[in-house]
Amino acid sequence: MAKWSKFGERFTRPTGARQLMDDLGDALSGDHPVCMLGGGNPAHIPELEELFSNELRRVLDSESDYRRMLANYPSPAGEERFRTSLAELFAREYGWQVTAKNIALTSGSQAGFFQLFNLLAGPQADGSFKRILLPVTPEYIGYQDVGIRAGMLTALKPTIEEFDDRTFKYGLDVDNLTVGDDIGALCVSRPTNPTGNVLSDAEIDSLIAVASAQGVPLIIDNAYGMPFPNIVFTEVKPVWNDNVIMCMSMSKLGLPGLRTGVVVASEEIIDALASMNSVLSLAVPSVGAVLLHELVESGRILEISKNIIQPYYQQRVNAALEWVHESLSGTDYRVHRPEGALFLWLWFPEIPISSNELYHRLKARDVLVLSGHHFFPGLDEEWQHRDECIRVTYSQDSESVRKGIAIIAEEVKRAFSEA
């Protein structure tokens, strides 16, 4: 048996992200139908698939674009024409003072967070140890394991506001928000994966002020947010300044196979990411940048996000909520108000089995969800709430989502009745 290094041991141990991707792969390669409500794969929207197919044909018909996409190395920060057009879009639409020097591409958002977290936290040159603060939990499962060293994350519990319609909402606990000298950066996702929570403009302004006062950056994971793919169902404004690191993704447009992430940050941060890209992979792939360049340059990507993507998911989430309320009627449950992203976050107060046990019972019935306990990275204190929640994806075909929700309700009711 091979003896791994410390690095090897850390990145080969069981993780929630590995479980998620193994479940997804097994379901896709299996010979019987599975309700795939666990992953974050975006929906296959026919209008978008036709649009992207046409863009791909256009690129392949152009010798210069073909070479940009496949036959030439780009800059270590990513394909420059795309970054220039993206900077111009942000300046035009939002007044952000950015150029191509403020934008770097990564090999997907997950790779980008690996780079950023280890750039800003972990062992320091002076012998100290910095951590990433997650001001609101639950948070994205992928943050948990990207640190080269253990203990790089710390988190705060949220406030919880409950409503009469069996919904609830997490909030930033401003009264307990402190940033010590051991913090290298703050990080929030907006909309939040797994809950669909969208931090208000006031909450974001508070985080920006706290981070700036401490002299550390605020990382905003904007994989589902504005301006693209704009899977946001509440009014918010995109915000950026030199102390904000805005992370975006091409995956949730419907192109997860491209593995193209976008980071908007100060020139210092972008230069550091370019150096890391050159060491890790010489350059990041240009396929996504060239494929989407015309859509960004023309601004059509904003129209697509607003007029196709957002309404599509709004309809899907409304239907899924109806099925949840219908199926779980008579049971004690709550669902987080879905203000964005692709997920419903279900909370079963005082359920007599853990969310992980519920996950396994559902998996045995060919319904894949994710146990809520995976989504509290950096929260060291015991909290029963984390074992009472599951994440359900509503982006897959309606028949699977409705069937899966019905089976979830059956297993939840069985767990309560057995107790």
Rounded CA separation 310/319 (Å): 14
Q: Which of 358, 392, 327, 36 is nearest to 195 (CA)?
A: 392
Q: So where are the chain's domains? A: 6-48+304-418, 72-300
What's the mean pLDDT in 160-186?
Answer: 95
Question: How many CB atoms neighbour CB 135 within 10 A?
Answer: 25
Q: Is the peptide bond before 349 cis (omega within 30 degrees of 0)?
A: no
pLDDT in tens, 300-334: 999 999 999 999 999 999 999 999 999 999 999 99
Instruction: Quote the pLDDT of residue 124.
Output: 93
Instruction: Quote the pLDDT of residue 314.
Output: 97
**pLDDT for 13 beyond 90:** no
pLDDT in tens, 206-220: 999 999 999 999 999
Q: Is 181 exposed, middle or buried (0-12, 13-18, 19+ CB in 10 A)?
A: exposed
CB 170 within 8 A of CB 160: yes
Q: Give whole-number Cα distances, 113 to 104, 133, 195, 248, in Å.
A: 13, 14, 20, 11
Instruction: Quote the pLDDT of residue 30.
Output: 59
pTM given for the model? 0.94
DSSP state of 261: E
Arithmetic mean of pLDDT over the chain? 94
Class of domain 72-300: alpha beta
pLDDT band at 26 (very low <50, low <70, confident <90, very high): low
Instruction: Quote the pLDDT of residue 25.
Output: 64
**pLDDT for 91 beyond 70:** yes
DSSP state of 408: H
**Tokens at residue 120, please?**
């800003």
Class of domain 6-48+304-418: alpha beta
In sequence order, which residues have a C-beta less than 8 Å from that of residue 112 and are 6 or more positions away? 106, 247, 261, 263, 273
**Tokens at residue 302, please?**
């904003």
Q: Give whole-number Cα distances, 277 to 65, 69, 393, in Å.
A: 22, 17, 32
